[in-house]
Chain A
Amino acid sequence: RKEVEQDPGPFNVPEGATVAFNCTYSNSASQSFFWYRQDCRKEPKLLMSVYSSGNEDGRFTAQLNRASQYISLLIRDSKLSDSATYLCVKAAGNKLTFGGGTRVLVKP
């Protein structure tokens, strides 16, 4: 089993709708979690950290469920510009482990 797993999608989302997707992980001791965004043929960029209590950044909400070993990302009021691949990342010390990414396509 991969350490970090994601549904590759694509998630086809009407503009203005809400979309949510999860990332499951294993080997969970003392780790931090993050969501990265990667546009087509571009480098990944940090979207947001994920805190145990849940956190929001504008239209984006991230949640961490340590008991069930998954994190989630919810995007409200989707914009066309939200179309991208979202990478789940687990960090332990100097080691970052990336998921394969979930592709989101927002359509008019």
Chain B
Amino acid sequence: NAGVTQTPKFQVLKTGQSMTLQCAQDMNHNSMYWYRQDPGMGLRLIYYSASEGTTDKGEVPNGYNVSRLNKREFSLRLESAAPSQTSVYFCASPKVGANTGELFFGEGSRLTVL
């Protein structure tokens, strides 16, 4: 049982390039989230999906797009990467609704934009 799986784990991009971060969960959860983590800033919510076919903006959505392809998969796309998007990205899925507080995280994707 893998839980939440993210790919790639590391990526270096040049400014203006595009890429997609993939996330899949095998826990049959409805909700999925994308966070970014920067030093001293904590985790900030980029986008979330409460169920298959729905997505909503979080705290810092600018520069990103998402797709909830099916119940298992939730991808995050950077259409034109900027140095300010250098960060560690985490995909997460809550056990039973986020107010239980238990999020299962992927291992993270470390992105550097030059």
Q: Which residues of A contact B (CB under 8 A)?
A: 4, 8, 32-34, 41-46, 49, 87, 89, 91-101
Contacts and interface: CB of A to CB of B under 8 A. Distances in A.
Contacts of A98: 35, 42-44
Nearest to B95: A46
A82 B42 CA distance: 19
B31 interface: yes
A43 B99 contact: no
Interface of B: 31, 35, 40-45, 48, 50, 90, 97-103, 105-108
A8 B40 contact: yes
A57 B108 CA distance: 27
B43 A93 contact: no
B42 A91 contact: no
A94 B45 CA distance: 11
Contacts of A100: 40-42
B42 A96 contact: no
A97 B42 CA distance: 9
B101 A43 contact: no
Contacts of A43: 90, 105-108
Among B40, B43, B97, B108, chain A packs the most CB atoms within 10 A around the CB of: B43
Given A43-B90, A98-B42, A99-B42, A49 B101 contact: yes
